[in-house]
Amino acid sequence: MTAFNPDDLVASFKAAGAWYNDAAMALTPFPNMGWGAVARQPIKAHTPLFHIPLDYLLTPWTSSLRTHLTEAEWESLDGGWARLILCMMWEESRADSKWGGYLRNMPREFDSPMFWGEADRAELKGTDIENRIGKADAEADYHAKLAPLLAARADLFPAGSEHFSLDAYHVQGSRILSRSFTIPISRAGGPVTEPEEDEDGDEDEEEEVAVMIPMADMLNAAFDRDNARLFADGEDDEEEEGEGEKHDFGEGFTMISTKDIGEGEQIYNTYAAPPNSELLRKYGHVDNLSLPEDVTALLLPEELGSWPFGNAGDEVEIPGTLVVEAAAARGISDAEARVDFWLDQGGDDTFGLTYSAEGNLEPPLVPFIRLLTNEDDWAKAQTKGKLPKSTVDAAVIDVLEAVVRARAAKYPQTIEADLAVAGGQGPLNARNAAAVRLGEKRILVSTLRVLEREKERLRGEEGKRKAGGKEERAAKRRK
C-alpha cells in the first residue's frame, strides 16, 4: 500500500489546474483524526484556501469511462453509486489518469464497521448502526450491476485485476461514503433537464448526485468547530473574494475560511453535526468532546465524573412500529387506520430523540402518540383532517416511557460496562462502539428522567384540582 504523500497530492492538484493557497495552509496528521489541514499563518475570515475547477471533479460524466461504454452498458449502472464506483476503479487503473495523484493518496484501509469482523460488529447490537452497515447490500449491488459488465468487457476490465475486484468495490464505496460531496447534477457534468412544476406551481429542485472533490475531502470535521466551507462559484461573491489577494477562479468550488483561524489551528470543514453513530458508520471515528451543560444537566452528580464526554449531536432513532406496539398495549382499536392517516398527512415513520430542553416532549412524536391513544383526537382527525396538538398527558407519558424502555432493552451491555470499555485502553473498535452506545443511552436515560418530572407535574396539578374541588364543595356547604 502506498503511503500518503502530501507533496504528491498538492503537486497533482496544481497540475490539474486547481489553485492551492500554499501560504495559508498545509496538510499534516492529527491524533485520532488522520490527515487534515492546518493554518500555516493567521487566516482571516473569507480567505480562499483552494479552488477546484469543474473539470477536476471526479464524477461519472468527467471520467473518460463513459466514452468506452455503449448506452445500454452505461444505463445498466444507473442507480446508487455503481457508476461513480466503476469510474473511480477505472481511473485508478489508468497510469495517465489526471486523478492519479488524488486516487493513489486516498486511504485503502478504514476503521468503519464495513471492514470490521463479526465479533466487532456484534458490539453494535441495539445501536442505530446495527442494520445500516450495508456490506451485504453493497456486495449484492456489485454482483448484480458490475460483475456482468466486467465479464462482458474484458477489453476494458482485465480479468483478475485488483482494480475491479469486490474488495476494490468496497474500498471505493467507502471512499465515497466518507469523502464525497453532493452537488447539483448539472455541476457534475450530468444531463440537465427542464424543471417541472409540482401541484403548487413550484419548480422541482434539480437532482443532486454524489461526486468526489479533490482536496476538499482532506479537511476534517468536528461538532461545532467548523471554520471553513466549500462554496460554489457565485454562491456568495463577498465571501469568495476574501479580504486579501483577489483571484478570478472561474467555474468550480472554492474552500473559504468562515472565521478567523489562528496559526497552528486545524481547519475544519462545515458539516451537519452528525451523531457518533453516523460518524462511525461513515468515517470510522467518533467525537469524544466535553459536553455542554444543557446535555449534562439531567445527569446525576455521580455520573458527571464518568460520563461528561461524547457528541452533543447524538440522537436515537425510534421506529414508528415501536410506538404503535406500545400504544397497542393500551388496547387501542384500528391502529392501522390511524397510522395510515398519519402517513397520508406527511408524518414520519421514524422519530429521532435528541438532547432537548423539552426532553423530547415536542413534535412530531407527541401528536403521533395522541393520534394512537386519544379517541377524541382520532375523531377530530377524521372529521377535520388535522393532526392532534402536542399536549402532553398521562397517556402520552405512559406510551413514551414504554417506548424508551423498549428501545433501551435492545442493548446487551449495561451502562457501567460501556463506561469501562469507553474509558479503557482496549481495541479501538470496541471503544468506538461503546461511545456510540453511551451517547444513545444518555439520551434515553435523560428522556426517562424528564418523563418522571412530567409525571410529578401532572400529579401536582391533579392534587391542586382535587384540593380546589374540596374547597369549592366546602364553601357551598357553608353557604
Q: Is the pLDDT of residue 468 over 80?
A: no
Give me the CATH number covering residue 395.
3.90.1420.10
Lowest mean pLDDT among 231-235, 257-261, 429-433: 231-235
Residue 200, all three cell numbers: 403548487
277: in domain: no
Is the same domain home to 136 and 221? yes
Q: Is residue 276 part of a domain?
A: no
CB contact set of 265 (below 8 Å; sequence gap of 6+): 38, 39, 227
Question: What pTM was computed for the model?
Answer: 0.84
In a domain, 471, yes or no: no
Task: Judge if 227 and 294 occupy the same domain.
Answer: no
Domain check: are 78 and 28 in the same one?
A: yes
DSSP secondary structure letters along 99-115? THHHHHTS-S---SGGG
User: Which of 235, 267, 299 delimits the end of a domain?
Assistant: 267
Do 156 and 204 lie in one domain? The reply is: yes
Which whole number is the average pLDDT over 216-234? Answer: 89
* 310 plus 216 within the same structural domain: no
Q: Are both 292 and 263 inside the same structural domain? A: no
In a domain, 10, yes or no: yes
Mean residue pLDDT across the chain = 89
Q: Within 13 Å and on the Cβ side, how many CA atoms surround 196?
A: 4
CA 21 to chain CA centroid, Å, is: 30
CA distance 180 to 173: 10
pLDDT of residue 471: 65
Asked whether residue 280 is domain-assigned, the answer is no
Q: Do 217 and 134 share a structural domain? A: yes
**Quick one: 249 and 356 in the same domain?**
no
Q: What is the domain-level CATH number for residue 250?
A: 3.90.1410.10
* 299 and 229, same domain (yes or no): no
pLDDT tens track for 66-84: 999 999 999 999 888 999 9
Q: What are phi and psi of 289, to 5 degrees?
A: -110, 160
Task: Provide the residue range defining the domain that includes 202.
Answer: 6-267
Q: Which has the higher per-residue pLDDT, 295 or 327? A: 327
Q: Which of 395, 319, 391 is nearest to 352 (CA)?
A: 319
Confidence class of residue 200 from pLDDT cuts 50, 70 and 90? low
Q: What are the pLDDT digits (tens) for 79-112?
A: 889 999 999 999 999 999 999 999 999 999 999 9
Position 64 scores a pLDDT of 95
The answer on 219 and 99 residing in a single domain is: yes
- For residue 293, the tally of other CB atoms under 10 A from its CB is 6
Q: Which residue has the higher pLDDT, 192 or 407?
A: 407
Q: Which of 233, 267, 301 is the last residue of a domain?
A: 267
- Give 26's pLDDT tier (boundaries 50, 70, 90): very high
Element (H, E) at 353: strand 350-354
Count of structural domains, the chain: 2
Taking the C-alpha atoms of residue 115 and residue 284, their distance in angstroms, rounded to an integer, is 10
Is residue 56 in some structural domain?
A: yes
**Is 474 domain-assigned?**
no
The answer on 414 and 310 residing in a single domain is yes
In a domain, 470, yes or no: no
Helix axes 335-344, 320-328, angle to 10 degrees: 150
Give yes or no: residues 96 and 196 share one domain: yes
Our CA angle for 319, 324, 329, nearest 5°, is 135
| Lookup: cell for 12 | 497533482
